[in-house]
A and B are shown apart, each in its own frame.
Chain A
Amino acid sequence: MSLGYCRKALRVDLTNQKIMTEDLSPEFLNGYLGGRGLNMKRLYDEVPPGVDPLGPDNKLFIGVGPLTGTLFPGSARVNFSAKSPQTGILGDSNAGGFFGPELKFAGFDQVIIEGASPRPVYLYIKNGKAELRSAEHLLGRDVFATQEGIIEELGDTRVQVACIGPAAENGVRYAGVFCNLVRAAARTGMGTVMASKNLKAIAVRGTMDLKAADPIKFMQIINKVDKDIASHVEYQTRLLLGTTKLVHALNEAGCLATRHFQTGRFEDAELVSGELLAESYKKKSKGCFACTIPCSRFFEITDGKYKGLKSEGPEFEGLAGFSSRVGVSDLGAALKGVDLCNRYGMDVISTSECISFAMELFERGIIATSDTDGLELKWGNSEAVLELIEKIAYRKGFGDVLADGVVKAATHIGKDSEKYAMHVKGLELFQADPRGLKGYALGVAVATRGGDHLRSEPSFEFYEDPEEGIRRFGVPEAAFRLEYKGKGKVVKFYEERAALADCLNVCKNTLVNMEILSFKEAAEILNAVTGMEFNEEMLQKSCERILNLERAYIIREGIRRKDDNLPERFLKEPLPKECGPSQGSIVELESMLDEYYLEHNWDKETGIPLRAKLIDLGLHEVVKDLEERGILSERFTL
């Protein structure tokens, strides 16, 4: 075992049932760091335009980073990437838990899944070796039963499983890959890709050592990071509430996605709040591998209709998705909604968008019970919501219409319903209203995997400190969520931090939201682990390289400035009066986009990266590729 990295990838050709081990070159690791970066490089090189996301030519890449499996807090993440069947562009999603570290202990930085198996299989990786096993008996099982079945079969409770549920098997386009039952790489349909390859699960067990190049330096930095986390202003909040803290916080700011973004204020927020969940049902805290902020929780519902439901989680996105977004005031029902998505293996954000979209159409009279199999899709009808989740997972009746995502559902329904579809580039939007968060609005408009907040998370705009705004981003407005100036700079900065987190495969709660670890410290720890010689600038440039590579990938797939957009509601309909501090807000996107492209050195008219930028980042092959395709013309020589 070498230092930091395993320097090995596993290539699994499912069509021919062949498994090979490949060495990873220092150039590849240096240039693309880990997890997301390694996967994106492969995606660009190995999945050209025109590939059917659900065909055998698409590939699924699974990557971990140089800190994965170390004592670095929250070094638990694993990235799953492919061309997305949901958006037709870049697919990438990551999960916490224990699967990522186990993959590292088993001796691999990356797994490449290609082709499609003639019969259902699961992949079992153990200490540098791998085999394909029959998964016939696992077909149709939900995520929980699949994990249980594999662990039982392998006779080792320490095996970590990443698997898909029935939603993926049934071709729901926003099905995820689920690790440790509920730790979901849920976005962009990576589970659907896995299902298209007849791959039900990946089981991993590893007992190999990880060694640091400079263990003393490494531990010194870890000790500092531990202290920084424990003394952070947000530590207690994240510990007690995790991301569920956002229900009340966003509601008070007037930008909690409510009844499908018709307003930003949910009158029953208290009834579905993280606080009530903690007070009523929380049993204990739960964390990922090596994390010092166990932000999740085990809960058990002890009363009412859903009494007896036990699970882990939920995150804010699921909790608000099945409460405020659909107008449901019943905490038990919201938890049940999240639980169903976890078991069927579906993304809570996309599922809740598809359902709340249908509810808005129903309330507006655009669709009726004759379209919905008799379901009364009125706001707050939790039973209908839960039934619809099941219908989507099994593509039954009206669920079949929603199972392809909100864009295709709108096309199917017609009647001008597209304007109610809350997505960017085909990926459904999160549970915060972009009108009240201008930096986030820009972030989701430009995110390389479509309408997604986790590609940047520009939380600096909540600082409300004008001096900090000037100090860090040159203008006071940068520190205020309702202001526009400086947001191009802020989003670019956080995009780089998010890329860093996804490449080191460390949790974004600490690395992005709490801003633990500067680029300088990140370079130091990377050097201490790997023995490489990174400095702050090199590391920041690597993150920029990955962002530009991703941008080039989606540009190659046809994305341009016109696609860096938001749904019409956010651009034209002001937030209503009850939204208090956010009332009257819309998003004026264009000036922020101009600033953002300028920051990136991308062409303002098209959003295509300039040649000089790509060359500066060492992306010579990308330049050549885009030139050959006639995408980078002379106009982009500056």
Chain B
Amino acid sequence: MHSTIKVEYLGTVRLLIKKKFDIYTFTVNPTLGLLVQEIGGRYGKIIGQECKKQVFIICEPKSDRGIFYKLPKDANILLKQGSVVKILNNITGG
């Protein structure tokens, strides 16, 4: 069984890789940490590092409520098949 995760890029990462989304496929349900590793593998170390500074909003299938996560503390969160992960810059003042 494969696990498919849609990653939507917002903020800094989107502007750096010039892409709005990707689909990632795993053989098992991945952790958030593994997903970010995959992104780094696909786009290079600098992007991987930039991802680690961002916020992750995980929307599980059928849920209307995305939950915010951060690395490294949430690296072991398991991503369910069909989840959407948004990568977004931190909210800070402006």
Q: Which residues of A contact B (CB under 8 A)?
A: 233-234, 236-237, 240-243, 245-246, 248-250, 252-253, 273, 275, 278-279, 315-317, 453, 457, 459, 462, 464-465, 481, 508-509, 512-514, 577-578, 580-581, 583
Contact = CB atoms under 8 A, between A and B. Distances in A.
B57 to A, nearest CB: 6
A248 B93 contact: no
A462 B90 contact: yes
Listed from nearest, the 6 A-B pairs whose CB atoms lie closest are A243-B94, A457-B93, A513-B93, A459-B93, A237-B89, A249-B91
Interface residues of B, number: 26
Contacts of B92: 234, 459, 462, 513-514
B12 A233 contact: no
B64 A580 contact: yes
Contact of A237 (B11, B73, B93): B11
A161 B53 CA distance: 39
A581 B88 contact: no
A233 B89 CA distance: 10
B45 interface: no
A37 to B, nearest CB: 21
A248 B11 CA distance: 8
Nearest to A436: B91
B86 A252 contact: yes
A232 B89 CA distance: 13
Contacts of B88: 248-249, 252
B94 A512 contact: no
A233 B90 contact: yes
B65 A253 contact: no
Contacts of B16: 236, 240
A245 B93 contact: no
B33 to A, nearest CB: 17
18 contacts: A234-B53, A234-B90, A234-B92, A237-B11, A240-B15, A241-B15, A249-B11, A249-B88, A249-B90, A275-B11, A315-B94, A316-B94, A453-B93, A459-B93, A462-B91, A462-B92, A578-B64, A580-B66
Nearest to A240: B15
B68 A464 contact: yes
Contacts of A250: 91
B70 to A, nearest CB: 6
Contacts, number: 88
A578 B65 CA distance: 8
Contacts of A279: 15, 18
B59 to A, nearest CB: 9
A580 B65 contact: yes
Contacts of A236: 12, 16, 50, 53
A246 B12 CA distance: 12
Contact of B90 (A237, A315, A508): A237
A556 B53 CA distance: 46
A241 B15 CA distance: 9
Contacts of B28: none
B75 interface: no
Contacts of A465: 70, 73
Nearest to A464: B70
A233 B53 contact: yes
A514 B90 CA distance: 11
Given A233-B53, A250-B91, A279-B15, 4 more contacts: A249-B11, A252-B88, A273-B10, A459-B93
B93 A512 contact: yes
A233 to B, nearest CB: 4
Interface string B1-29: 00000000011101110100000000000
Contacts of B11: 237, 241, 245, 248-249, 275
B67 interface: yes
Contacts of A275: 10-11, 14-15
Contacts of B93: 453, 457, 459, 508-509, 512-513
A577 B65 CA distance: 9
Contacts of A457: 93
B18 to A, nearest CB: 8
B50 to A, nearest CB: 6
Contacts of B18: 279
Given A233-B53, A236-B16, A465-B73, A577 B94 contact: no
A615 B24 CA distance: 63
Given A240-B12, A246-B94, A316-B94, A581 B89 contact: no
B45 to A, nearest CB: 14
